[in-house]
Amino acid sequence: MILAESARRNAPAAARLLAHYRTMARIRAFENAAERLYNEKRIPGFVHLSTGQEAIPAGVCANLLPTDQITSTHRGHGHTIAKGGDIRAMMLELFGRAGGYCQGKGGSMHIADFSIGMLGANGVVAAGMPIAVGAAHAAKLLGRSTVVACFFGDGAVNRGPFLESLNWAAVYKLPVLFVCEDNRWAATTPTATTTAGPGIAARAEALGIRAFSCDGNDVAAVDDLAAELVRKVRAGAGPLFMIARTYRWSGHTSADAGAYRNQDEVARAKVDDPLARMRAQLVELGVAVTELDAAIAGAHEEIAAAIAEAERAPLPRREDALGEVQDIGAPNLSLPRDKRGRWPSRPSRDGRKGSGEGASGVGAAAAAITDRANLSAPPSQPSPALRGGRSVTVMSIVEASRRALAEEMRRDPTVWALGEDLGRGGVFQQYKGLQAEFGPARICDTPISEAAIMGAAVGAAMCGTRPVVETRYLDFTLCAADELVNQAAKARYMFGGQARVPIVVRQPTGLWGNCAAQHSQSLEAWWAHMPGLVVLAPSTPADSYAMLKAAIRADDPVILLEHKELWGITGEVEEGGEPDARLGKARICRAGRDLTIVSWSLTVQTCLDAAAALLRDGIDAEVIDLRCIWPWDEETIVASAEKTRHLLVVHEAVLTAGFGAEIAATVAEATGARVKRLGSPRIPVPFSPVLEAAFRRTAEEIGAAARTLMDARHAR
């Protein structure tokens, strides 16, 4: 009777702990199988194991709702399983087979299941942290009660995104539970030897985030602490910090035997096995050993079935490698493309083949540009004309971009902007007055934390919002290169199409009088080289207006290159209506028969000036504004070069490996036309006006290059 009464009293606790035991058994069985499969060369690539750490994901995720979210690390198997992931789909992914979570495009380090709120394992240490705060920021903006659990290792505390993410979460009081799996090792180095100060908790508390510790090998202790912290976070307490002390049994990867570690230390850790501890506790609570054995056997049977299915499953087709990034871009930017991601021919509205002319009114605006107007340009002036029932207004690029953003924010409440000094209007006043209309939540002033800004935008975009990221200057985007290049650009492909990242990254680009090397770069070739990004470069107010609207409606990351010396340019803009689907097409600014000159952004007007001078010498040049760097309008450029048999590509960026090389090579291959490039010297942009002038391309230089290209001795 006494034993029966004890079992009755302990039944609720035993049932919960038994559920934890089953979760841990599944994680352990999966990790052991992954290690064995790697050693037997049955799966490709490396796996990063979390053997010995099973109690942490089991105890934390048991307190999360299905609608809650997690971010993970490169050791993400356990987190995925604990959050409710499909072991079959995980195993298919490890085998690189069709039907895997990421369709064979992510592998072990990039397991994700957005349907259960698992926002992806991540191969970059600490990279999940700004994504987690972005997901939490989106939840707050959208009025959701979501809690985001952010898992990371103790090695992450020495990376910049750790500080930036904790600060961000504290500033905006976001619903994030930071979970540090303190396993004592950062890759192959003891964390204690590379971490200064009084400890991990002190770093969180220095930012005003309360930190709590527990024995990470005791699932009951993890469960109890996580339950309390998740409840507080959900109730609005803001971010909290949890440290779970544990030990990773394996080396850094499956290929790392960990021989550098003290084997007595490893042996002691294995004695403290979280599964063995929980088994003993469950036996004390009256759970039958046969039931515990059945849990272990069931986990092994499940894993064995997943392996058998994965080995039978077909491999992805070779052509599937091109998926996801092939149609990167908005519906109103994306046209059917060929295997290189380029736009083919598209009929114009009257059914004839497109001429390369862009959105209505853009060509007239470009032709009207006569100088590089400065930021003291006159205010917008209404035009008496109406075009297609819409008003036409003369305005500057800064005003055009401001109106475009405001209209999209009024149209779609999920659109918001984040960056430094937006409440004061931004560096170029492109946000002037917007915070007064939309409030500080949607025109969001951020810390000077580029990695957190970009990473938060990625997480928020994955979770239902459309962030517009202000980078202040393109040059500063390099502080967020990982978040842009390894996260935003790759997420859709890497996670097998599960994630879309609809962000606009506004990058004031190019030369800015006497501001020298760190405020004057042109890096469009970098972004064009990166699969997963759309890259736009407006040169007129009409393009600025239409391209920003189209970019905001895109479902993938768009880089919008806004030249610093073009903000004051004025021209006609048609307001209202939908963005034109032909925004991806280049614009023929000036028709000609002898020579094709291609450029973009600020340099377009310089090319038009050069063309006017060339005409006096009897050379009739066709000037084309590329407008969209990637995907670029190969059809219009090739057609023009086929007609003129001469192509000159001019850009402000450094000539070496500039995007002009891509255009020149493609045209040469397609047409056999004579080609020439003109760009800036391979030097950092200098400060002194006389030195800076050596970096700028002039109409005289363009004319000289054109005459060389047209020299009759070399013409075909």
Q: Are residues 466 and 543 in the same domain?
A: yes
pLDDT score for 384: 43
CB of 468 closer than 8 Å to CB of 412: no
Q: Are residues 545 and 621 in the same domain?
A: no
pLDDT score for 579: 72
Q: Report strand pairing: 621-625 vs 381-387.
A: unpaired
Q: Is the pLDDT of residue 360 over 60?
A: no
Q: Is the pLDDT of residue 650 over 70?
A: yes
Q: Are residues 124 and 235 in the same domain?
A: yes
Q: Active-site residue among 48, 79, 519, 651? A: 519
CB of 222 closer than 8 Å to CB of 63: no
In terms of Cβ atoms closer than 10 Å to its own Cβ (0-12, 13-18, 19+), residue 461 is: buried
CB of 131 closer than 8 Å to CB of 119: yes
Q: Are residues 558 and 659 in the same domain?
A: no
pLDDT for 193-238, tens place per residue? 999 999 999 999 999 999 999 999 999 999 999 999 999 999 999 9
In terms of Cβ atoms closer than 10 Å to its own Cβ (0-12, 13-18, 19+), residue 281 is: middle
Q: Are residues 465 and 549 in the same domain?
A: yes
For residue 249, report the phi and psi dihedrals to the nearest 5 degrees.
Answer: -70, -35
Taking the C-alpha atoms of residue 684 and residue 67, their distance in angstroms, rounded to an integer, is 49
pLDDT for 249-258, tens place per residue? 999 998 988 8
Q: Are residues 558 and 594 in the same domain?
A: no
Q: Is residue 244 part of a domain?
A: yes
pLDDT score for 687: 86
Q: Is residue 93 part of a domain?
A: yes
Q: Are residues 682 and 558 in the same domain?
A: no
pLDDT score for 1: 37
State the residue range of the domain holding 492.
406-564
Type of residue numbered 113: D
Q: Is residue 325 part of a domain?
A: no
Q: Are residues 596 and 559 in the same domain?
A: no
Which two three-digit tokens encode residue 395? 């305005």
Q: Is residue 367 part of a domain?
A: no
Which CATH number fits the domain that encloses residue 705? Answer: 3.40.50.920
Q: Are residues 146 and 277 in the same domain?
A: yes
Taking residues 568-596, report their average pLDDT.
87
The domain boundary, picked from 549, 564, 579, lies at 564
DSSP three-state, residue 607:
helix
Q: Is residue 389 part of a domain?
A: no
In the chain, the number of structural domains is: 3
Q: Residue 7: which H helix or E strand, with range?
A: helix 2-39
CB of 641 closer than 8 Å to CB of 621: no
Q: Is residue 272 part of a domain?
A: yes
Q: Are residues 263 and 172 in the same domain?
A: yes
* Residue 165 pLDDT class (50, 70, 90 cuts): very high
Q: Is residue 679 part of a domain?
A: yes
CA angle 101, 102, 103 (to 5 degrees): 95
Q: Are residues 544 and 602 in the same domain?
A: no
> Cis before residue 413, ω within 30 degrees of 0?
no
The domain boundary, picked from 299, 315, 331, lies at 315
Taking residues 319-328, report their average pLDDT.
70
Q: Is the pLDDT of residue 39 over 80?
A: yes
Which CATH number fits the domain that encloses residue 257? Answer: 3.40.50.970
For 330-420, strand residue ranges (E) read: 381-387, 390-396, 415-419
Q: Is 519 a catalytic residue?
A: yes
Cα–Cα distances (Å) from 637 to 233, 421, 640, in that order, read 56, 40, 5
pLDDT score for 348: 30
For residue 66, report the phi and psi dihedrals to the nearest 5 degrees.
Answer: -55, -30
The domain boundary, picked from 511, 533, 564, lies at 564
Q: Are residues 594 and 658 in the same domain?
A: yes
Type of residue numbered 43: I
pTM across the whole model: 0.88
pLDDT score for 582: 61
CB of 213 closer than 8 Å to CB of 243: yes
Q: Is residue 354 part of a domain?
A: no
